[in-house]
Amino acid sequence: AEHQHARYNPLRDDWVLVSAHRVKRPWQGQLEKPPPEDVPRWDPNNPLCPGATRANGEVNPQYEGTFVFPNDFPALQPDAPEPDDSDHPLFRAAPARGVCKVMCFHPWSDLTLPLMSLPEIRAVIDAWAELATELGASYPWVQIFENKGAMMGCSNPHPHCQVWASSFLPNEARLEDRTQRQHLSQHGVPMLLEYAEQEARRKERLVVENADWLVVVPYWATWPYQTLLLPRRHVCRLQDLSDSERDNLASIMQRLLIKYDNLFEVSFPYSMGWHGAPTGPYLEEDCKHWQLHAHYYPPLLRSATVRKFMVGYEMLAQAQRDLTPEQAAERLRSLPEVHYK
């Protein structure tokens, strides 16, 4: 807890430098603006609101639950042309096709997931699973992710996430596929299933748990209050979850996100995303080395206005964090599960 050391991340096959004493240093750097507390519940000029007109001229329906639509500014399109052939191995390109969708969680702009009801969160989970099934029928990778807060690049306060399906396995997916495959081959058990069992027994990095799920600050965490959401049983994909597992997922997500908000009494920014076994052509392959999981990467370090910057040493050498995962877990674990609002 007091002396720097490096920790190995078996999921990414890399290392993180832990320097817990650095959090004591004085801060005269950038201070972030807390998110606005006065977001209107409905704004006709907000393109994600029910009945609003989006940039392409389409009018949203008067939706009352979740609402999914094609991203008006997609990073991936299904009909992109092939890149030109390379004339040198140092200048390679490859085709990249896909579709991008946006999912609104709720019709109200002033709500976030921790302030939604359990049935409303369960509806989000069901919509995620439906999209994973639909897009995964043909695409190898379906990335469900939420950027929450302007600090994490979110351009609209309305509660929503994005779903990108790609014709290729992205870098993180290829890396996790390799490391999990190697672990199963060497140890005979899926890496993250074994890891969840170890963390459930040790408890020092445990944040919340229930019958089907647990949330930990991973031993190899990079971001200050990074967490890993894990199922207790072996399950490869989001769409494979049972009804009771989906109910308990809604509950543990709500509990975690309430703790996040309570940490600095602010709508807590983060980027989160689901990782599961590849789909498309991989549906016919043996993917038992995979274990479904969700990553949460929040940037805040000391307060609602002081964030962790991944610059300098982190960009040029390796990741570095300013408090131990055990310290972060203890602080999150001790927070109340009733929202500060």
Which residue is catalytic, options 158, 160, 183, 289?
160
Secondary structure (DSSP) of 195-216: HHHHHHHH-TTEEEE-SSEEEE
Contacts with 198 (C-beta within 8 Å, 6 or more apart), sequence order: none
Q: In this structure, are residues 270 and 148 in contact, taking their beta carbons and an 8 Å threshold?
A: yes
Residues near 155 by beta carbon (within 8 Å), at least 6 away in sequence = none
Would you call 160 a catalytic residue per the annotation?
yes
213-216 and 160-166 strand pairing: unpaired
Rg (CA), the chain: 20
Q: Which residues are documented as binding site for UDP-alpha-D-glucose?
A: 22-25, 55, 71-72, 147, 153-155, 162, 308-309, 313-314, 320
Q: Which residues are annotated as a binding site for Fe cation?
A: 176, 275, 293, 295
Cα distances (angstroms) measured from residue 190 to each of 171, 229, 322: 20, 15, 30
**Tokens read off for 313:** 């040493």
CA distance 236 to 286: 11
Quickly count helices (H) and strands (E) in the chain: 6, 12
Candidates 193, 188, 124, 126; CA nearest to 159 is 124
Query: Mind telling me the catalytic residues?
Result: 160
